[in-house]
Chain A
């Protein structure tokens, strides 16, 4: 089974609107972390937001928020007030465990977001 599933290969959003990018995960480890990264066409992976499995509150970072639904094993990224510069590939990733050596992330296949002016 896939560890991370992103079912939206591509999404379009109007500038200044909000958009939700879906991510579901699969793990039996009670300790895990969920990440979202943005990859522009230049190739760099930009860290956006992190949610730990024991965190009680949904993570927020500026215009980014993570809608964490543990029972449903989903960690959707919400981008508010979209900007043209948000056009990029977005990857959801998971780290299982918090022990040394657990730094390998499992990535989804990504969602290409296009912001329309």
Chain B
């Protein structure tokens, strides 16, 4: 069974631009969550989608948005990029939302904003 796939692996953008990251969950998984990892703030929850609906959202500005498609694939968008958005963005999938099933993470997308 293929794992969680995130594309692209690396991305370099300039301030003010926008970016879209993609995540394909493990087959059969319906929940997709996004996390931001930085040296200063560690791992922080961005949002979770389940059956195309946002179920939960972390404490991030509205520039961070996401969506989920009917095949459970998810995209995350960051608009008006700031230097502080440079981070590793991790996507995780699980069978259900809020159940006991563990989250399985992808390899991440490393975003650098210059």
A-B contact number at CB 8 A: 74
Mask of B87-114 contacts with A, CB within 8 angstroms, 1/0: 0101010101111101111111010000
Check if B98 sits within 8 Å of A100, measured CB to CB: yes
Chain-B contact segment, one of A9-17, A70-78, A80-88, A102-110: A102-110
Check if A47 sits within 8 Å of B104, measured CB to CB: yes
Main secondary structure of the interface of B (DSSP, over half): strand
Check if A101 sits within 8 Å of B55, measured CB to CB: yes
Question: Chain A contacts of B88 at CB under 8 A?
Answer: 43
Check if B103 sits within 8 Å of A44, measured CB to CB: no
Question: Chain A contacts of B55 at CB under 8 A?
Answer: 100-101, 103
- In the assembly, what is the distance between CA of A110 and CA of B37, in Å? 12
Check if A98 sits within 8 Å of B100, measured CB to CB: yes
19 new A-B contacts, CB < 8 A, other than A47-B105, A107-B42, are A43-B110, A44-B107, A46-B105, A50-B102, A91-B43, A98-B98, A98-B99, A100-B55, A101-B50, A102-B97, A102-B98, A103-B50, A103-B55, A103-B94, A103-B103, A104-B33, A105-B33, A107-B43, A110-B42
25 contacts between A and B (CB under 8 A): A35-B103, A37-B105, A42-B107, A43-B107, A43-B108, A44-B107, A47-B105, A52-B100, A91-B43, A93-B43, A95-B98, A97-B98, A98-B99, A98-B100, A100-B50, A101-B98, A103-B31, A103-B33, A104-B33, A104-B45, A105-B103, A107-B42, A108-B42, A109-B42, A110-B42
